[in-house]
A and B are shown apart, each in its own frame.
Chain A
Amino acid sequence: DVVMTQTPLSLSVTPGQPASISCRSGESLLHTDGKTYLSWYLQKPGQSPHLLIYEVSRRFSGVPDRFSGTGSGTHFTLEISRVEAEDVGIYYCMQSLPLPWTFGQGTKVEIK
């Protein structure tokens, strides 16, 4: 199974400041179709997870543009340009190239 490693595991951010989460995969997530199957999810406290970013950098419908994703191959980053109070929760990366799909351990983001 592909191991997904996130860093840091927790992050405390001042509102209005940027935040960055790294995700590394144990093998390349680049498909022969040219797409890279890495997505990011946010689980707010007491809620189900929801999709933020797919194919490394594409924002899902309704996701604010302060969220952005970058990366390629095996190294990926989720960035929040200016953290807001509603962004608290646990962020997970997930690879969906080889089965079984696998998640990172999660990064807990809280507000200072």
Chain B
Amino acid sequence: QVQLVQSGAEVKKPGASVKVSCKASGYIFTGYHIAWVRQAPGQGLEWMGRIRPDSGGTYYTQKFQGRVTMTRDTSIGTAYMELSSLRYDDTAVYYCATECCSGWRLNYWGQGTLVTVSS
């Protein structure tokens, strides 16, 4: 069965960076995009961008351009999302989700990673 397992909660200071991992299993990792979606406390879902695991090609929303970097390690079937220059309003749960096995939708989601930005 398809599973996405994310890294644990993080607490970071303003201006720091955070890197969240997402380990995929149960399907061919390089076959489908992995997207990152965030949810601030009490707020809705925000699609941040995605990575194509086979090529490493990325698409980032304009809001996060320059601050987000999505990468992957195909040898271990893991995707990463790094967000830099953290601000208080980056406090959120960050989800990875895969388009496996169809494209065009988010079929399976990770459990989420809480990132807290606090001084």
Interface residues of A (CB under 8 A from B): 1, 35, 37, 39, 41, 43, 48-51, 54-55, 60, 90, 92, 94, 96, 99-106
Q: Are B109 and A102 in contact (CB under 8 A)?
A: no
Indicate which residue in B44, B104, B109 contacts A105 across the interface (CB closer than 8 Å).
Answer: B44
- In chain A, what residue has the closest Cβ to B60? A100
Q: Are A92 and B104 in contact (CB under 8 A)?
A: no
In the complex where A37-B104, A41-B106, A96-B105 touch, is A106 in contact with B44 (Cβ < 8 A)?
yes
Q: Are A49 and B45 in contact (CB under 8 A)?
A: yes
Q: Are B104 and A100 in contact (CB under 8 A)?
A: no
Which secondary structure dominates chain B's binding surface?
loop
A53: min CB distance to chain B, Å: 9
B75-100 interface with A by 8 A CB criterion:
95, 97
Q: Is B25 an interface residue (CB 8 A)?
A: no
Q: Are A37 and B105 in contact (CB under 8 A)?
A: yes
- Provide the residues of chain B in CB contact with A49, threshold 8 Å: 37, 45, 95, 97, 106, 109
- Bound Cα distance A101, B112 (Å): 19
- In chain B, what residue has the closest Cβ to A104? B44
Q: Are A54 and B47 in contact (CB under 8 A)?
A: no
Q: Are B45 and A51 in contact (CB under 8 A)?
A: no
